[in-house]
Structure 1
Amino acid sequence: MGAVFVGVRHHSPACARLVADTIRTHRPAYVLIEGPADFNERVDELLLGHELPIALFSYSDQHASWTPFCDYSPEWVAITEGRRHGAEVRFIDLPAWHEAFHGVTNRYADAELRYAEVVERLCREFAVDNVDVLWDHLFESEPEPKGLDEYFDVLRGTAAADDGDAAREEYMARWVRAAVRHAGGRPVVVVTGGFHTPALKAELDSRPAEDAEWPGVPERERGASYLVPYSHARLDAFTGYQSGMPSPGYYQQVWENGPRRAADWLVESVATRLRRRQQPVSTADLVAAHTQAGALARLRGHEHPARTDVLDGLTSALISEDLTQPPPWNRRGTLRPGAHPALVEMIGALRGDKVGRLHPSTPAPPLVDAVQQLLRAHGLDQEGKIALDLTDPDALERSRILHRLRVLGIPGFERTSGPSGGTAPQLDEQWLLTPVEERLAALIEAAEHGATLEEAAGVALERQARHAQLRHLAGILFDAVLCGISTLSERVKASLGEGVKETGDLAALGDVLSGVLGLWRHDRLFGTAKDPLLGAVIDAGTARVLWLIEGLHGGPAPADPHRLRTMAATRDAVLHANAALSLDTADVTGVATRVSNDVQAPPDLRGAALGLAWALGAQPDVRKVRGIAALGDWLAGLFAVAREEVLASPDLVGVLDELVSAMTEEEFLVALPALRLAFSYFPPRERETIAGTVLAHRGVEGDARNLTRLTADPMVVAEALAVEHRVEALLTKGGLA
């Protein structure tokens, strides 16, 4: 009889029903399915008795991808129905690690970008918003989908396959020809994405099957495939998944109960979720939603209310005010911040909360067992809070295990306090251990990095470092130190050394200097104190900062906190790591003094440069402060780098008091935001010290604490002053003052 092709849209209940009917009708010898052919010897693992959704996770050195299945996936129905009717079930697509899938993380993501033009034309013709609504209108809302072949022919007729699709289709066609040859005259059912079906038909028509042989499976040097638990949340297009269908919870109901009962379920589910959030939903609202959905279905020619009929009915009944954003089902995207609560709960109901579970006898990668043994052996397979004294070798080893799990993204291990890069040493850690269902899936997926926990964490950090920007390398280095992975640490140190010599990014230099300096100064605990390679990074980074700031020019602008953090890190490098520097302190002071006097330099940088020179022992002439433009930004720079020196200088505080007191109301209001930013570098106790110095400068007795304890927000007071100033000006202009 030959091949019977069933083109499908992935995760479509209508297509799943069509696949089941086709297999029951034809009772084929073979059922061929778009899926990774390297898993054919292990198809029985799919039928162990899992709770769906699950996914087939495949990885190699360069690539990882998922092949997800839920109850209503046409591919899953093809597997189960094919086996039930005695057919040989085979996957016929290239393995997921093949170069044809480069950049593809989900095998069943529809190729909609390749035929966007024809989809837009069809959407205009049928007066719908997007491909999902179009699909519902044409197929999901009908008891029996008709015209699928014509639909896919139209899509494919306007789109050319790229090199990856061409390679996949040529490979799948070889499987189809071989199956037809070996079927002994019985039918062969071929289930593939509708985009590929026209090309496979053409391939079979153009080349005979008489001499066809089963194609081999390309080999790979490293990698594996395993089943992982999946979830409706990961399947949902509204949360970013590249799936053929959004709203998996809703379509689960369509699959199990049909579109009419699914519509009722959606209305009830949204109402229940809103009431849990204390949002008012009356019986009248629900009646209105049902009535609106039914009316829209009839207007749009649907026998039963489709998904968007129900959603538009709910929106009309439950959201009386204007929407701040279009509903996601009209534009196919994730919800934006500030969405109406009803929209949030509609998306939550559509998504569903089903989480898959693997059968206990499902094979797992070695990493899963290795981690479970480590957790048991070190008492980390518990629930609750644990405290670790990092000076104790056993606790330090437990800390490294937890950090390795953390960098791999394994859920349920949260550090609530502990050492952080660029700070003084902290010798203890607090962790919160929580059992979560997603842990097994995360461990299986982490196995692409290695078979042991240490290897996997090291490979994960190395991959991060390979593509990381300079500013993130210091954090990766600190993670490697926390994980106890010394080989990676050496490579990252070398990368940092090269990066700081070439970068022009002051913010990145600040991140590197502060992080590396903390390790160089403090971390005897982790074995990095006075490390020569770290010292070289500090030396190169400090020299680069000084070279960059001396040529940095620009007019008044808001103070840049990243630049100021870099200047503070440079100060700390000179003060605390002088032994690692090739520069003399006098050289650094000279550069800082020149920058502080450069009227073309940004005001915040001039203030920070003065603070750097001051922190290194140079005595500033406080009288020059009177000629500073953009005083608030200049002070932000000065305070960020020389906070302690300012506190010890009553003369400077006195000059600042005189300058601020001499401002007009308008000048003060303009300068206030920058002044607030500048003084935010002082903690409350130090602000009290400054207040006391101001009182002494004015010869006034009083409580400095009361001056810093305002009952109103200073910005509210400032806004009130500005309003009063404008009112007074208007009264004066009108002769009413």
Structure 2
Amino acid sequence: MSVHILGIRHHGPGSARNVKAFLEELQPDIVLIEGPPEADSLLQWAGHDDLRPPVAILAYQPDSPQKACFYPFAAFSPEWQAMLYAKTHRIHARFMDLPLAHVFGMENEAAAKRAAGAQRDETQKEDETQSTTPDGETPPAELNNSTEEFTAAELDMEFLPRSPQDPVAHLAHAAGYDDGERWWEHMFEYRLGQEQVFEAVHDAMHALREELPRRYDRKEALREAWMRKCIRQAEKEMFQRIAVICGAWHAPALQTMPKQKDDNDRLKGLPKTKVECTWIPWTYSRLSYESGYGAGIPSPGWYEHIWEHPADDGTRWMALVAKLFREQQQDTSVAHVMEAVRLANALAALRHYPRPGLEELNEATLSVLCNGESILMQLIRDELIVRNRIGKVPTEVPTPPLQTDITRWQKKLRLPQTADFKDYTLDLRKDTDLERSIFLHRLQLLEIHWGKRFEVSGKGTFKEQWRLQWDPAFSIDIIEKGSWGNTVAEAATSFVINTANNTGTLQQVCKMLESAIPAELPAIVEVLIHRINNLAAASGDVLQLMEVIPSLVNISRYGNVRKTDAALVNNITESMIGRICISLPAACTAVADDAALPLLDLFFAMNDAINLVQDNELTGSWQETLLIISGNPQSAPMIAGYASRLLFDAKIMTGETLVKAFSVSMSVANPPALAAAWLEGFLRGSGTLLLLDEELWSMVHNWVSQLENDIFIQVLPLLRRTFSNFTAPERKKLGDKVKHGGNGTSIKATTTGDIDYERGARGIPVVMQLLGFKDAKLLPDGA
């Protein structure tokens, strides 16, 4: 009976190659792999045609799905190669790490103790506040032994891994390297011969564990005790050749066995909870350091390359770089590739490396293929060094019901999970695209943001633009939302109804309704409309009602493209508009300029929404409200000015009525600041009105001309803010107008002076021909 400890580096291609070669030579009858024992049942899927790495084991607590963890594997992961070997040779394989049932149980226990301690401290503070001496001073504090004991116990229960300095860095420094990662790659991952590599790793880690002082880590001690327990169990079951695949740091602790009683005592009484596991697709980007993965690697795509082509001297890699550059229309020749490979090998020789690594290849690429410009190196990093690759999991793998339903819809609608983003333009007049839209909207209601919607340019409401990009973390969200139902429709309905009933914000409920209509969930729509009606009836904030009107109008106006009964919201929309028209004039009084400025956006959106409704009664009520606000001297000047502008745009306030309102508001009898605020509101959004209406221009020009110097300096910031909102061409034309004719007479003369009719007549036949009238002739002089 023999036990062989193979210390490896997670996701190391060299380690995976050495493990595979060692197992083929040893031919063990059982393989123990560092991983959660709860996932032993998933090992049967290793080697399945549809289980293609990168994949990960997702382990989670069913009653609290957010408490979860992942165990990712790539094709070049030593653990994955051990699984494949066991499956191919039909031998036993088991995971031997500390069960997650205990890990999550300790987390729950520690969280409960922290919560109890926080509550105890709060109670103590309240008691100390209430317990005062007669003269009002706090008595001397007594020693709180229970709190001190709890804190010490809580520290003892800390099981999360520490973050000490990477111990491999000490070996790298001794070997003359400034980076432990690079040293490990050249010593183990790039090495082609086995050369008793596992004995060397064991000796190095044994020396580091003896020499380096490390803070006591209870979780690490528990993990190693459980691993030894699994090894003893395999020996007890009379397996003759036992292969153990574990992280290099643990190898010495598993080679030298302490007393079995010591390990049993350490593992006794651990808290426990229920854990479930499944396979999920993973991505190379989530396998990298940048994703926050503790055992991540900097270059998954590069590691895959050296796993598939271990003897490559850089030629294959440079060929891939050249292909990528050519796809991006970059001029790259065979001579460039040859020179880059030669430079990379020369750099490796100068650094005493047997072969070039990624660092040498990147330096050669930068010098030869990129001409020293580093911007293209980002493209290489994204497409080759890291790569956007996603794994695949068989549909037969047991998954939660909601995950199964989502996978079924993805397959039916031909919406594959991709690591890179993919854009879809959906035509809602087509059945398949309409079903895709409904499915994506339902996922958004569940707060599973696989798809992000963008605005589509052009007219019409029958198109939607979506960008889809799958994130493995969505699996946790799906499991969490699975408690609301077994299908997407059922879960979305239950989740949204519960959220709506517990939401007191009218705007949020309206946004939910706007999303529920395209999701085609009638049960949700009815509940949300009832909820909106109740919140609107209880709300006394007219501005809050104005915020939700545009979304409700969009629903009633554009919902019918989906063949839904969007008219359900018409009654509540009309009721809310009526309440706004009644309450809005009073809400516009005694409003400061700073507060009035954002209200103008609400006025614009409200006016635009009512124009979309095209209901004469509602339009009349809104215009009457604007007339009241415009004519009320107590209204905020800026709001009154904007109300007048909206009435002018609707051709309600024109001619003498407009001139009168303008004259009253811009009168020199009014404080200049109020007149400037009214003008800012009236001219908001466009200065073309001053260019076209000479009478209004004259009034503004005369008002500014009559301002005294001190008053002009006071209102100048307001005028600057007003004119800064105009477009650059408008400001230029207004400046020319002031320059050439301050009161408007000169500018008028330049536009109505003598006209050369003969010259103009010659252009008429050309215009007529452009319009399609081929028989057009030159008009007689003076015509």
Shorter-chain TM-score bucket reads 0.5 to 0.7
Query: Per-residue displacement from partner, 1:315-341 (whole Å, max 9, x unpaired)?
Result: 222333464xxxxxxxxxxxxxxxx12
TM-superposed CA distance for 1:277, in Å, is: 1.5
Q: Does 1:289 align with 2:327?
A: no
Change (3 A) 1:183 1:373: closer
Question: Equivalents in 1 of 2:629, 2:185: separation in Å?
Answer: 71
TM-superposed CA distance for 1:73, in Å, is: 0.8
Query: Per-residue displacement from partner, 1:509-529 (whole Å, max 9, x unpaired)?
Result: 986564356458886833651
Residue 190 of structure 1 is matched in structure 2 by 244
**Which deviates further from its counterpart, 134-143 or 467-476?**
467-476
The alignment's TM-score, normalised by the length of structure 2, stands at 0.60
2:354 to 289, 296, 303: 303
Residue 14 of structure 2 is matched in structure 1 by 14
Change (3 A) 1:573 1:360: closer
Mapping of residues 76-155 of structure 1, within 5 Å: 76-84=80-88, 87-93=91-97, 94-95=99-100, 99=104, 114-116=163-165, 132-143=181-192, 144=194, 147-149=200-202, 150=204, 154=208
Amino acid at match of 1:253: H
Residue 65 of structure 2 is matched in structure 1 by 62
Query: Per-residue displacement from partner, 1:49-78 (whole Å, max 9, x unpaired)?
Result: 333333334554432554332211111112
Contact 2:642 2:681 in 1 (8 A): yes
Contact 1:493 1:533 in 2 (8 A): no
Residue 735 of structure 1 is matched in structure 2 by none
Change (3 A) 1:269 1:447: same
Q: 3-state DSSP class of the match of 1:246? A: coil
Q: 3-state DSSP class of the match of 1:32? A: strand
Change (3 A) 1:216 1:289: same
Amino acid at match of 1:191: I
Change (3 A) 1:518 1:437: closer
Query: Per-residue displacement from partner, 1:73-117 (whole Å, max 9, x unpaired)?
Result: 1111121223445542112343499637989xxxxxxx9982357
Amino acid at match of 1:52: P
Change (3 A) 1:153 1:644: farther
Residue 449 of structure 1 is matched in structure 2 by 481
Question: Equivalents in 2 of 1:674, 1:611: separation in Å?
Answer: 12
Residue 748 of structure 2 is matched in structure 1 by 699
Amino acid at match of 1:192: C
RMSD: 6.6
TM-superposed CA distance for 1:501, in Å, is: 11
Amino acid at match of 2:488: L
Question: Equivalents in 2 of 1:202, 1:468: separation in Å?
Answer: 62
Contact 1:549 1:595 in 2 (8 A): yes
Change (3 A) 1:199 1:376: closer
Residue 611 of structure 1 is matched in structure 2 by 642
2:463 to 415, 426, 430: 430
Amino acid at match of 1:189: A
Change (3 A) 1:199 1:699: farther
TM-superposed CA distance for 1:358, in Å, is: 4.2
TM-superposed CA distance for 1:127, in Å, is: 7.1
Residue 730 of structure 1 is matched in structure 2 by none
Question: Equivalents in 1 of 2:230, 2:578: separation in Å?
Answer: 63
Change (3 A) 1:228 1:615: same
Q: 3-state DSSP class of the match of 2:306? A: helix
Change (3 A) 1:412 1:249: same
Contact 2:424 2:466 in 1 (8 A): yes
Could you list the runs of 5+ residues in structure 2 that have no partner in the other structure? 109-159, 417-422, 654-660, 708-714, 731-742, 753-783
Change (3 A) 1:274 1:574: closer
Q: 3-state DSSP class of the match of 1:62? A: strand
Residue 438 of structure 2 is matched in structure 1 by 400
**Which deviates further from its counterpart, 208-217 or 359-368?**
208-217
Change (3 A) 1:587 1:676: closer
Amino acid at match of 1:404: R
Contact 1:33 1:92 in 2 (8 A): yes
Q: Does 1:244 align with 2:280?
A: no
Contact 1:174 1:214 in 2 (8 A): no
Residue 479 of structure 1 is matched in structure 2 by 515
Q: 3-state DSSP class of the match of 2:312? A: helix
Q: 3-state DSSP class of the match of 1:47? A: coil
Q: 3-state DSSP class of the match of 2:84? A: helix
Question: Equivalents in 2 of 1:364, 1:266: separation in Å?
Answer: 38
Question: Equivalents in 2 of 1:62, 1:241: separation in Å?
Answer: 19
Amino acid at match of 1:133: R
TM-superposed CA distance for 1:278, in Å, is: 1.9
**Which deviates further from its counterpart, 58-67 or 196-205?**
196-205
Change (3 A) 1:623 1:322: same
Could you list the runs of 5+ residues in structure 1 that have no partner in the other structure? 104-110, 324-339, 598-606, 683-693, 704-737
Query: Per-residue displacement from partner, 1:529-561 (whole Å, max 9, x unpaired)?
Result: 157699789989x99999899787879xxx98x
Identity %: 21
1:253 to 290, 305, 318: 305
Q: 3-state DSSP class of the match of 2:565? A: coil
Contact 1:267 1:289 in 2 (8 A): yes
Residue 147 of structure 2 is matched in structure 1 by none
Contact 1:4 1:188 in 2 (8 A): yes
TM-superposed CA distance for 1:13, in Å, is: 0.9
Question: Equivalents in 1 of 2:255, 2:682: separation in Å?
Answer: 74
Contact 1:235 1:241 in 2 (8 A): yes
Amino acid at match of 1:31: V
Contact 1:2 1:186 in 2 (8 A): yes
Query: Per-residue displacement from partner, 1:566-586 (whole Å, max 9, x unpaired)?
Result: 45447779999999x9xx969
Contact 1:274 1:281 in 2 (8 A): yes
Q: 3-state DSSP class of the match of 2:279? A: strand
Question: Equivalents in 2 of 1:23, 1:499: separation in Å?
Answer: 71
Change (3 A) 1:534 1:238: farther
Query: Per-residue displacement from partner, 1:694-731 (whole Å, max 9, x unpaired)?
Result: 9899535749xxxxxxxxxxxxxxxxxxxxxxxxxxxx
Question: Equivalents in 2 of 1:238, 1:648: separation in Å?
Answer: 58
Question: Equivalents in 2 of 1:537, 1:118: separation in Å?
Answer: 69
Aligned positions, number: 634
Contact 2:347 2:360 in 1 (8 A): yes
Change (3 A) 1:309 1:518: same
Contact 1:473 1:512 in 2 (8 A): no
Q: 3-state DSSP class of the match of 1:529? A: helix
Amino acid at match of 1:452: T
TM-superposed CA distance for 1:182, in Å, is: 2.6
Contact 2:684 2:725 in 1 (8 A): no
Amino acid at match of 1:266: W
Change (3 A) 1:241 1:209: closer
Amino acid at match of 1:53: P
TM-superposed CA distance for 1:255, in Å, is: 1.4
**Which deviates further from its counterpart, 6-15 or 135-144?**
135-144
TM-superposed CA distance for 1:348, in Å, is: 1.3
Contact 1:132 1:245 in 2 (8 A): no
Q: 3-state DSSP class of the match of 1:310? A: helix
Change (3 A) 1:467 1:101: farther
Residue 316 of structure 1 is matched in structure 2 by 367
Greater radius of gyration (CA): 2
Q: 3-state DSSP class of the match of 2:245? A: strand
TM-superposed CA distance for 1:228, in Å, is: 3.6
2:79 to 69, 75, 82: 75
**Which deviates further from its counterpart, 465-474 or 130-139?**
465-474
Change (3 A) 1:132 1:396: same
TM-superposed CA distance for 1:647, in Å, is: 11
Residue 717 of structure 1 is matched in structure 2 by none
Question: Equivalents in 1 of 2:291, 2:558: separation in Å?
Answer: 43
